[in-house]
Amino acid sequence: MKKILQKNEGVLRKKAREIKVSEIRTLKIKKVLKEMSTALEGQGDGVAIAAPQIGYSLRIFIVSGRIFEKDFVTNKQERFTEEQPEENIKEIKEKPKNLVFINPKISKLSRKKEWMPEGCLSVRPLYGKTFRSIKATVTAYDEDGKKFERGGSGLLAQIFQHETDHLDGILFIDHAKDIKEEKIPNEKN
């Protein structure tokens, strides 16, 4: 499994390169996506991961399908104090699929913003509060090279903003307040 890089690694501070649409379905990109998914699944508290976090300066992020499970939201209430909007929660029997965003661009952000608790797999064990829009829309390509648009609110909107920051070489600690160390819940390492 690929190691998740920490804040001092140079690749985390570089603007990641876009992927040509013709490259999306290549074995190279499939390998990167697989490594990203494996690294994300290996973290008990991870909700998303960007390619630079495992050493690839590519404009890709993955959102864990588990954020759409009702139990996930209930179990995370102590960390994510904002209720997850009902439109983002699905009660399903099978494991929800991870969402892949290639060359993502935020196309809309709500004017309304809130201070939200935030952490990062690459900034262990720091947590803080960030001022984020409560709704966001992203345009991107999926793993099959199909363009799509996805909106979200609450935690999903926060993830969109956090991960696109990663792709521009920005870490949440660059603009967070009340940063402190916290114990990592359910760490699987």
Q: What is the pLDDT of residue 71?
A: 58
What amino acid is encoded at 8 in this protein?
A: N
Q: Given the DSSP bridges, would you call strands 60-63 and 126-133 parallel, antiparallel or unpaired?
A: unpaired
Q: What is the pLDDT of residue 31?
A: 97
**Catalytic positions:** 163
Whole-angstrom distance, CA of residue 37 vs CA of residue 33: 6
pTM as predicted: 0.84
Ordered mean pLDDT values, 10 residues apiece, the chain (189 residues): 91 97 96 96 91 97 86 47 48 74 98 96 94 97 97 95 97 96 61
Q: What is the pLDDT of residue 136?
A: 97
* Number of Cβ atoms within 10 Å of the Cβ of 108: 13
Instruction: Using alpha carbons, select from 37, 57, 42, 46 the residue that is nearest to residue 169.
Output: 57
Whole-angstrom distance, CA of residue 136 vs CA of residue 159: 9
Q: What is the pLDDT of residue 69?
A: 77
CB 36 within 8 A of CB 54: yes
CB 64 within 8 A of CB 46: yes
pLDDT digits (tens, 9 = 90+) for 25-47: 999 999 999 999 999 999 888 89
